Amino acid sequence: HMEKSICVKMNCNRMVYGTLIGYDHFMNLSLRNAKIKVPNQPDIIVNSCILRGASILSFEGTNINVVTS
């Protein structure tokens, strides 16, 4: 299930789109080429990030590819 594009819904109405590269038993997720969407803020694009499992509400597979410039 690695190297799949996912969409993660987090607390505080945040959404993160990226490629799953790892996870652990606390449901912490490691993403590559991630786009972070926060209400009323510009999108943030990062090369890699780790999402804390306790902040994750849900996630699902997508066909969205985040392209960074």
25-43 pLDDT per residue, tens: 999 999 999 999 999 999 9
**pLDDT reported for residue 1:** 58
Give the containing element (helix H, strand E) for 57.
strand 56-61
DSSP string, 3-33: TEEEEEEETTTEEEEEEEEEE-TT--EEEEE
Q: What is the pTM of this model?
A: 0.85
- The answer to whether the beta carbons of residues 35 and 44 sit under 8 Å apart is yes
State the pLDDT confidence band at 19, using cuts at 50, 70 and 90. very high
